[in-house]
């Protein structure tokens, strides 16, 4: 069974760059069957879709974050990463990585537990 695990700093200073890694086990991120994505949930608010990709294709980014977000992969480690630049307090959230297995619908069947990132000086 596929498992996803987020990791990264829990505290980032304003204006700096947030970097998170999603480690995947039980499935390969290079499989063309799946998309892999990032979703976040600010405290007390609803979830926000950030970005996704499938291996070998172009990534998709939320237009509201597109200028600051980058997804990358490390196939040797079966990991993918999120990079969010110029963070502010509004980027404080629990960040989840997740897998999409449906070819036509952008919903997610496996999620990580999430990692809280606080933006504060």
Partner 1 sequence: DIVMTQSPDSLAVSLGERATINCKSSQTVLSSSNNMNYLAWYQHKPGQPPKLLISWASTRDSGVPDRFTGSGSGTSFTLTISSLQAEDVAVYYCQQYFSFPGTFGQGTKLEIK
Kindly list the residues in this chain that would bind partner 1 in the complex (CB under 8 A).
4, 45-49, 60, 62-64, 96, 98, 102, 105-114
Q: How far is the CB of 13 from partner 1 (least distance, A)?
A: 27
Q: Which C-beta is closer to partner 1: that of 55 or that of 111?
A: 111
Tokens read off for 119:
């933006």
Between CA 51 and CA 65 the distance in angstroms is 9
Nearer to partner 1, 29 or 69 (CB): 69
- With b for 16 or more beta-carbon neighbours within 10 A and e for fewer, the 59-83 pattern comes to bbbeeebeeebebebeeeebbbbbe
Q: Which is nearer to partner 1, 42 or 85 (CB)?
A: 42
Residue 91 Cβ, how far from partner 1 at the closest point, in Å? 16
| In the block, residue with structure tokens 């960040």 | 95
């Amino acid at each position: 069974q596929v498992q996803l695990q987020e990791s990264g700093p829990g505290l980032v200073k304003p204006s700096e760059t947030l970097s998170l890694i999603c480690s995947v086990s039980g499935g390969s991120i290079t499989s063309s069957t799946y998309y892999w994505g990032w979703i976040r949930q600010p405290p007390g608010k609803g979830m926000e879709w950030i970005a996704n990709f499938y291996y070998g294709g172009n990534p998709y980014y939320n237009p509201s974050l597109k200028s600051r977000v980058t997804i990358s992969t490390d196939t040797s480690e079966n990991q993918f990463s999120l990079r969010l630049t110029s963070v502010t307090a509004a980027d404080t959230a629990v960040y989840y990585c997740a897998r999409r297995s449906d070819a036509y619908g952008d919903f997610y069947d496996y999620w990580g537990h999430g990692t809280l990132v606080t933006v504060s000086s």
